[in-house]
Amino acid sequence: MSPDTLTRRQFAAVVAGASVGLAGCSSGSDDGSNGGTSGPPGYTDWLPSADALGYARYSFNAVSYDDIRENEEALHEDVYQGFVEDTNNSFAGELGLSFSDLSSVVSAAEVEHLSGTFGRSTIVDALSGTEMEERTDYSGFTLYASGYQGVGVRDGEAVVTQQAFGTGSDQIVETLQTMVDAGAGETQRRVEANDDFELLVSKLGDGSFVRGETRPKVESADPEEGLFSGVVARGTSVTINGDRSTAVYADVFEQESDVSMDEIETWRESSRRFRRVAQETETN
């Protein structure tokens, strides 16, 4: 869904700034902020390095269910109900969890971290009679696995993975352990392993809905669709706050010289979301 559907009013559309460094970053928000934080956002705790998950790169999503519930009246009824139904029909729903049980969900590749008000027993009871078997206790989590999916659970938290059939339960357990280690700071996180990713999330900050990715350098731009030459990472952060919501868009460039304000201006005119574009320079 587009960010414009999230509230009863359209987002006030202003691109506030573009900051550029060796791994340059153009970022825009609707309130004049740059989305930056003094430290990595909390969701990065549950994003292991790509190598640790067996990938060259991956995209991620982080959703605050607390924010959605707190702003129910500001969301269109169909949008809010869609979140409820999607949650109930997801893997979390199969684990006995409902929309009201969850506080946040962080997803990356084939793994997720769930936090909320649920007890360990809720998930353990839901696993009864399934193919998943208890394998081991690990750093406070009890790990369950089958040949293609697994769950690690403790009170108020779960790590889950769903992979290809035939992956094997040993590999499933290793993936769950990687997630637990990331949360505990015992394995390298994505934000520590990749400078482009670190810069991206520093601009996105926390939000009600955050998504981002690193990618191969864009060689063929499509400015009208928001795809700029030289981009190596990109993302969006949307924060709901009553009838006003804030959107931050960030693109990380391989080099400062890759940034084309003409391309960004083309996107601004095409999207019709933003009234102005400003630029500043940031040096790493």
One DSSP character per residue, 162-201 reads E--TT--HHHHHHHHHHHHHHHHT-S-BHHHH-HHHHHHH
Say whether pLDDT at 277 is over 80: no
In the chain, the amino acid numbered 82 is G
Band the pLDDT of 22: cuts 50, 70, 90: very low
Give the least confident one: 124-133, 207-216, 273-282.
273-282
Q: Please give the residue that has the higher pLDDT: either 279 or 215.
A: 215
CA neighbor of 38 nearest in space, from 250, 197, 206: 206
Pairwise CA distance, residues 210 & 73, whole Å? 21
pLDDT digits (tens, 9 = 90+) for 120-179: 999 999 999 899 999 999 999 999 999 999 999 999 999 999 999 999 999 999 999 999
Backbone angles phi, psi at 113, to 5 degrees: -115, 125
Rg of the chain over all Cα atoms, to the nearest angstrom = 20
Q: Which pLDDT value is given to residue 279?
A: 53
- Contacts of residue 29, defined as CB under 8 A and 6 or more positions apart, other chains included, come to 14, 15, 16, 17, 35, 246, 247, 248, 249
Q: Which pLDDT value is given to residue 269?
A: 83
Say whether pLDDT at 3 is over 90: no
Pairwise CA distance, residues 233 & 253, whole Å? 7
Name residue 27's beta-bridge partners: 17, 250
Exposed / middle / buried, residue 186 (Cβ in 10 Å: 0-12, 13-18, 19+)? exposed
Rounded mean pLDDT of 264-273? 80
Give the least confident one: 30-34, 37-41, 42-46, 76-80.
30-34
